[in-house]
Structure 1
Amino acid sequence: MTRVGTADVGFRSERGPILASLMLTTSLVALDSTIIATAVFTIVGDLGGFASFPWLFSVYLLTQAVSVPIYGKLADIVGRKPVMMWGIALFLLGSVLCGLAWSMPALIAFRAIQGLGAGAVQPMSLTIAGDIYTLAERAKAQGYLASVWGISAVVGPTLGGLFSEYLSWRWIFFVNIPLCLIAAVVLWRNFDERHVRTPRTIDYAGAVLLTGGATLVILGLLEGGQAWAWSSPTGVGIFVVGGTLLAAFAVVETRAPDPILPLWVLTRRVLVASSLVSLLVGAVVLGLTTYVPTFAQGVLGTGALVAGFALATLTIGWPIAASRAGSLYLRFGFRATALGGSVLVSFGTGLTLMLSQSSAIWHVGLFCFVVGLGMGLVASPTLIAAQASVEWADRGVVTSTNMFARSIGSAVGVAVFGAIVAANISDPSAPAPGELADAVHLVFAGGFVCALVMVTAAALMPGRARPSTPTP
């Protein structure tokens, strides 16, 4: 039996430092997804390797995504705290090495180490929040964690520009050192996890096949149409090999005594619906965080700061709605709450289709706020429903599967939305405002379609009147 000391006591004062630590580590992971964007030219001017700089983003997202399922399983075997501490330590090591990088290949390799650390931090933050908070409280706590990502999408590029212009691009990574240490110390001292270890085998074959297959598929999505043509031998072959490895993984998991990713997570209704919603959330959020600032600056002519504030309204709406989601799903059930949220996301993304060159910037902010409200009512409740459907011993793998689905959604969003924009702009280096408006409008249309599918996914949630599990 496993007990988490902080959950037993139930005082907010004892759990507050843990949540603060989780938010801090999550912000580090999220910031390093975007903070390099405005420092690329400074880094290239120092290290060279302009043709390779996109890998600074791809390798981080790739290693993070493919390691998430493995960390989730390990957390169910050895406990959350060791996995989280390992993730923070690995992220810290990667940050130090990135700051000391002497060439672009070295920086890319060290970014991969950072990504491996991030792969532990993201799912463990949500899993620990699921462990220490009651069912009624989880939506608010996880809403705060989710909002960190949106805030980082706005703050990250700004910090990157400030560091590279006034200090050095290396401080983009060195600033993580004290923050990682603070988060680790606070978590170590306040998170009292008493885990009774039982003998369990590790599914090495499954881990290798899943990592290899997922790596190739996500790499194909991230780099297809950029590093190679979709229809080229490389573009086709990478998906064929990746798909073959994943098929072999499925076969191995049916025979493994303790599979790294139990196939029942892909068959239970609540888990499938939750993962599908998470995948679509990844796609919609990626589309908005990438192309709302582009639209605001390239079409409406605003500055970067104003464009960032317009997008930030999404992150304001998200925790506001999430803070109310707990009382809603306890009263009306997970499905009704998720349906309401997905309908609100559809309404908000539908409003973005009305944006044009004559729109005001406050229109953009308002529409993003509506989407954020919807996200707070659909993302957290569906994840919490998945967590509540299993015991502690499976909560890590369920949470990581949900996060893995969101990573896949983001990767698919990168590929599809990027291809849409590229196909509709004649000169990417200097797109005309009208042409850019039409291209981004198609991205907004894609987000609206994803939101409509999200409504269907939310409707697949089990239709209980109210959750049956009142506490962790």
Structure 2
Amino acid sequence: MSPSTASIPQSISGQEKKNESDVAILESSAEENNDSAKTKKGLKFWLIILAICVAMFMSALEVGGTSTALPSIINDLHGDDFIWVGSAYPLAATALLPASGGMAEIFGRRFSMLTALGLFALGSALCGSAQNMSWLIAARTIQGAGGGAIQSVGNIIISDLVPLRERGVYSSFVGLVWTFAAGIGPLVGGALAEDGQWRWFFYMNLPICGLAAILVLAFVNLRTPPGTLLDKLSKMDWIGNFIFIGSSTSTAIALTWAGITFPWSSASTLVPLIVGLCGLAFFLFYEARFAKHPIVPFTLVANRTSLSGYLQIFFTPVITFAVTYYLATYYQSVKNANPIRAGIDSLSMSLSLGPTIIVTGISVSVTKRYRPQLWIGWVILTISMGVFTTVHSTTSIGHPIGFSVLVHVGAGMIYSAAYFPVLAPLPVSENAHALAFFAFCRTFASVWAITIGGTVLQNQLVKRLPIEFTSQFPSGAALAYSAIPTIGKLQDPLRAQVREAFAESIRVIWQVLTGISGLGLLCSLPMKGLPLHTQVDEKWGIEEGKGGNGEVQAGPRDNVHSNVADSQVDIGESEPSAQV
């Protein structure tokens, strides 16, 4: 653990304030670094942003479109493991996200982004050519590993170039691209699924991957850490990664089996769940006490403000991912919408999310405050999920569409502002690890969203679906999900009974999500309002010169910069009144 990060717990626990001369030095250094960062926002800076936006567009398009195409995919492949098709992607992304931060820190940003793009392209090609469910699930796993790393490394690169105080504006550009892609994703996925061409939804990622890779190679010219390949490999936390991957996989398997393959009280469910959760706890202990190069330094969660931010970004995707997946299920199973219509009905979510992210990001940059936006967002999100529980099979289609707008207005405010409390108490030298763990919390939440929602749905369908319907399928309610496209062909009263069963089962999901939203609101209360950094970590700036070995060497100013960052943590934690 570096000296800079080791000083954080002392400052958090109430270390004495710096004297006035130290403050003057800090402010002078911060202004100098801020001016330096501003000079880099020329053409090359915007080309780097373009490269990140193209990569993010591809990842978001896949996330938005899979849910509407999923029933048709399952039906064509004659499978019943729909939960694994949805959860394999975020599970793989989650398992490798902490490693992506370490990889970016050790091997450099460009190499890490190219590796992520390569994995995503490989996974997309395999998804498009899948001949059975096992093949598709394995391909989704590879795709998820690349997709998660794309999000993580993209945000890390932005943090290298833009100080936290200004980042809200620039992150809004990326957020706009993300929401646009997520918005058209259901339309694209639904249209291709409707025509039986869902495979092209995955194949079209290949040329976009190629374009993104060309842009990264040409323009993401950030400094590369010195050292041989062997030296860099020795700095990877292999033991920590092994513990984490095994524990997160065990947890996800238990959540997928619970109540469907095995009862919740069975050893087959409880053993992997307990082992997985205990393994995750041990992983954090190992990282804090034994890891020489931790992928998740304990300092990231050693203060209540960062911890609050991480919890908030965990709970928010649990809600939004579940709403995205299971609202599309509601439209197709209850309202007899085809995949294209379900995509159109889901479009309101992204149309409200994008502008909200932009306005919130700009408001943080202008006001230098993030707590009011987060609190307002949680209140809106909790209320909107509460009103979602009033939706039944006979409810007008306008109600869930309008409620989903409110959900994504609240969620958009949280998505845009949540990393400010995470990063404000930490030195900028911890950006890579902090943002990788931030992306991990967000992606791991999607595993819980899909599995919790799926478990609730299947358990409720077992109780509510008429026996005349489930008796047609050897796998029972699990296969009934893949039979959603056939519901419209049923005769009444069976058709009405099946739709009622789906509507009431999905309503239980909304009730669970309302409780989770309330918990997120409570977790937002302890965070402090801290000053935002005005500098970036210069050792990761745009490459302008090369050393004798072809790699940029960190200058002496980098060490000064690290000390300045540590000083800001001390002042920020001891002077929360600056933003109260």
TM-score of the superposed pair, with normalisation by structure 2:
0.71
For residue 193 of structure 1, give the secondary structure of its aligned residue in structure 2.
coil
**How far apart are residue 307 of structure 1 and its match?**
3.8
The correspondence for 1:457, drawn from 515, 523, 527, is 523
For the residue of structure 2 that corresponds to 1:76, the secondary structure is: helix
Q: What corresponds to 1:292 in structure 2?
A: 327
What CA deviation, in whole Å up to 9, does each residue of 1:143-184 have, x standing for no partner?
A: 454566655555445434544665855433322221101011
- Correspondence 1:11-30 to 2 at 5 A: 11=41, 13-30=43-60
Alpha-carbon separation, structure 1, partners of 2:446 and 2:412: 18
The equivalent of 1:50 in structure 2 is 79
1:207-244: CA deviation from partner (whole Å, max 9, x where unpaired): 21111111211232234333433333221121233234
The residue that corresponds to 2:222 in the other structure is 193
Cα gap change, 1:95 to 1:470, in 2 (>3 Å): same
Q: Deviations over 1:91-142 (max 9, x none)?
A: 2223334445565544433332222212311211222233333435433443
Identify unmatched segments of 5+ residues in structure 2. Answer: 1-32, 466-476, 481-486, 488-496, 537-580
Deviations 1:414-470 (A, max 9, x none): 233333333333225465444433333322222222222222222222134xx3323
SS in 2 for 1:135: coil
Over residues 243-298 of structure 1, what are the superposed CA-to-partner deviations in whole Å (9 max), with x where a residue is unaligned? 34334433432122221211222322222111110111111102211222333444
SS in 1 for 2:329: helix
Equivalent positions of 1:112-191 (< 5 A) are 112-146=141-175, 155-163=184-192, 168-191=197-220
Q: Does the 8 Å CA contact 1:139/1:322 hold for their aligned counterparts?
A: no
- The 5 Å alignment of 1:358-437 reads 359-425=395-461, 426-427=464-465, 428=477, 429=480, 432-437=498-503
Which residue of structure 2 lines up, in the alignment, with residue 326 of structure 1?
Answer: 361
In structure 2, the CA distance between the partners of 1:163 and 1:413, relative to structure 1 (3 Å rule), is closer
Structure 2 match to 1:276: 311
Measured in 2, the distance between the counterparts of 1:451 and 1:37 equals: 22
- 1:470/1:350 CA distance change after superposition, 3 Å: farther
Q: Match for 1:470 among 525, 534, 556?
A: 534
Q: Which of 98, 104, 114 is the aligned partner of 1:69?
A: 98
The match for 2:474 is none
Unaligned runs of 5+ in 1: none
Q: What is the aligned-residue identity percentage?
A: 24
2:208 alignment partner AA: L
Aligned 8 A contact 2:172 2:357 in 1:
yes
CA–CA separation in structure 1 for the residues paired with 2:408 and 2:188: 23
One-letter code aligned to 2:161 = I
Further displaced range: 352-361 or 227-236:
352-361
Matches within 5 A, 1:201-212: 201-212=235-246
**Root mean square deviation, CA, Å:** 3.3
- Find the partner of 1:252 among 253, 268, 286: 286
- The answer to whether the Cα contact below 8 Å between 1:76 and 1:392 also exists between their aligned partners in 2 is no
In structure 1, C-alpha distance between the alignment counterparts of 2:499 and 2:192, rounded to whole Å: 30
Rounded to whole Å, the distance in 2 between the matches of 1:307 and 1:41 is: 12
More displaced stretch, 35-44 vs 89-98: 35-44
Deviation (angstroms), 1:303 = 5.1
Normalising by structure 1, we get a TM-score of 0.86
Question: Could you say which structure has the greater relative contact order, defined with CA pairs below 8 angstroms and 6 or more residues apart?
Answer: 2
Does 1:348 find its partner at 2:384?
Answer: yes
Return 66-75 or 150-159, whichever deviates more. 150-159
Q: What secondary structure, in the 3-state scheme, does the structure 2 residue paired with 1:424 have? A: helix
Give the 3-state SS of the residue equivalent to 1:259 in structure 2.
coil
> Which structure is larger by alpha-carbon Rg, 1 or 2?
2
Deviates more, 1:395-404 or 1:358-367: 358-367
The residue type paired with residue 100 of structure 2 is Y
Quote the offset at 1:35 in angstroms: 4.4
Contact 1:222 1:414 in 2 (8 A): no
Q: Secondary structure at the match of 2:418?
A: helix
CA contact (8 A) 1:310 1:368 kept: no
Corresponding residue of 2:504: 438
Q: Distance in 2 between matches of 1:352 and 1:98?
A: 34
The C-alpha deviation readout for 1:394-427, integer Å capped at 9, x for no partner, is 2121112122222232222223333333333322
CA distance in 1, matches of 2:98, 2:450: 21
Amino acid across the alignment from 2:160? D
Aligned counterpart in structure 2 of residue 233 of structure 1, from 267, 275, 279: 267
